[in-house]
Structure 1
Amino acid sequence: MTARAATAAEPTAPVTGRLSFLDRYLAAWILFAMATGLLLGRLVPDLGNVLAGVTVTGVSLPIALGLLVMMFPVLAKVRYDRLDTVTRDRRLLGTSLVLNWVLGPALMFALAWIFLPDLPEYRTGLIIVGLARCIAMVIIWNDLACGDRESAAVLVALNSVFQVVAFAALGWFYLSVLPGRLGLEQAALDVSVWEIARSVLIFLGIPLLAGFLTRRIGEKARGRTWYETKLIPRISPFALYGLLFTIVVLFALQGDAITSKPFDVARIALPLLAYFTLMWAGSMALGGLVGLGYPKATTLAFTAAGNNFELAIAVAIATFGATSGQALAGVVGPLIEVPVLIGLVYVALAARRYFPRTAPAADPEGSARA
């Protein structure tokens, strides 16, 4: 994040050698943050109650702050003057919509029933995770894998809009209508459009506006060269600091639930592992087949595989309670998603050599990507 990898036209240098020290050992930092959170949750009395004492749209305030800090630097890097070229790419937008809102929820529904036919609470929680499409951490994974930032911003915004209008309807379909048609029993989901919209506005709208204003004001005051070469390198590390802080708090909140039910966690983890792997690999391959090129194919893959676990956890807690199996399934989501997707960052960087080489687009003002 703090140093971008070389373009696809430079495949000979080792992948890890082009990453900063922080980025190079990110998998280790994340595992350390997860372990720290779990230990704190188990060892510090009432820490979970303190952290959960103040919430924003059903999400702990420390987690909310961590998410905002995490997303701001990446959104400050986005070249908003290039977004029009992304919105004209109907191939990318159409493929992303199908993957996110047709194949993604259907795949999670199928995996939940295949792996958890006898555990309805966990099954419902997984289906909710599958309905909550990415709007947060995926921006981090995409940036680490050298995906297209502008495309990621557009796809995340598109997912946010669809999330507001489609989440409740899809929840009703996958938790009530479809199981009934198939002769299966399932719990209903009661969540308002406003609850979803509020979550999207807070966790995406605030950092998006802050990132846009930072670039606009910074470039106007000091120029693009200063902005790209001086300011961006200074604020970039805070994205990973925010990510690690969020992970520590998240796992501190649920440390007892996770460590006290290891077998349940393992059963929930299996369909999640299958989901993230299938969605990412299938989307990456599809992006290559339709000729998107490495940066956009990578963005397509991560935006299709990632999920908005903040919304999923908030909905599960609000609908079924903080100690419910549905809430536990939501918490296990990032437990599996974080290490799997950071691993797929390295897979993506290694796979870059198999994509056609393309020269980087010329920048009329001579600025380089941070």
Structure 2
Amino acid sequence: MEEIYKPKNTKIIAVKDALLEYQSELLPAGLTALPTTEGDIATAMRFNGSEHQFNELLHSVDLERNLSSIKDLRIMNFHPSRLQNVMKPVEVPEKALRFNCVKNAIKITGRVRKNLDSRIRYNKHKYTFIPRCEETDLYPFSEMVLEIRFYEPFKYKTGVRLGHPKFHQEFYVLGSQNLSELRDKIYCQCDSGPFYDISANPNSAEVEPKTEDTPDPGFFFIHDTFYNDMRRPANADYSEVIRTWARRQKSIGELKTKRMEEAKFEDLQFRLGYPQVYQHHGNCEHIFVISNCRLLASSDLLVRRRYPILNSYAFPRSIPCNICGHCEANFIVKNSDQHIFDPAYVCQVCFESYHYKDGVKIGQFEAFRFLGTKIAVKEDDAEMDVRL
């Protein structure tokens, strides 16, 4: 595939090799594990003095204790979705408000603040926050953390420019986790389907509950390998027809296949920032990129069961009704000669009043339920708070 989509970065990262390389750089000679406690530090230093002497040594090299000053600038936590160091508004005396220059200064201050908010690139994303009040079972530098960004599904058309991919979700995963654990965390509106034509009986719009026998196939395509989800007996191998087609192409190399539930992230090979593919529910395709691969740090959440972590997501864009233009659309109408657009997005009230009379369908059309801005929260994600 790289013969078709030329990578800008030629380096291929092997997660397990990168972990061993980083650990060897950080691990002192003669130690089998990184020091995490004061006792481990004393052992690594081969300190032979008493505990009191060791504590005095720690105090002597404590930067906050010895080099801090009341005149030091306050350290502020940076977040890409918020403004930092915003000056507090100054109270203006009533006597000064009679001057036009003061009035203009107040107006300009308000506009500047508004413009700064609108210029923040990431203020349209919602960031999650997980309370760190649990007992930890992970240690810093013991695992690799992969930051994976998914984009909204797209439908490719030959000769049509699609524009830039639209951000959807970002996850943090551990190298020791299976790919199937990440797939279970990803939310897509297609997961609430399949959606059928409900024009004959719009009140029966609820989707039948899924069971263990319901097919739920899908795959990740990373580097040169298809990772298929074969946990359910009814799941089909989506990659088979693609691999058959690829064998007849001279510009595409050999494509491999593995089971998603048996593959771990630490066994992957990939290029940072290179587009990969997640496909499920037939032809629903998501582009995703692995934007970072780093060691687990002490500032990360050190609780294994909380991974994969949903770090941020894009709030779905609401689509107004094509008839009234005021309410949010709840239905998609297709193949109708009564609409200018095909498909048309219609709200509940307009759908019932425009397409039905006394509950009887008028004309020929197809109608499908549209979820709009509904968001599904999966499992442990319900414990998260949204950073507004």
TM-score (norm 1): 0.24
Larger-gyration structure (1/2): 2
Task: Between the two structures, name the one with larger relative contact order (CA 8 Å, sep ≥ 6).
Answer: 1
| Structure with greater proportional helix content | 1
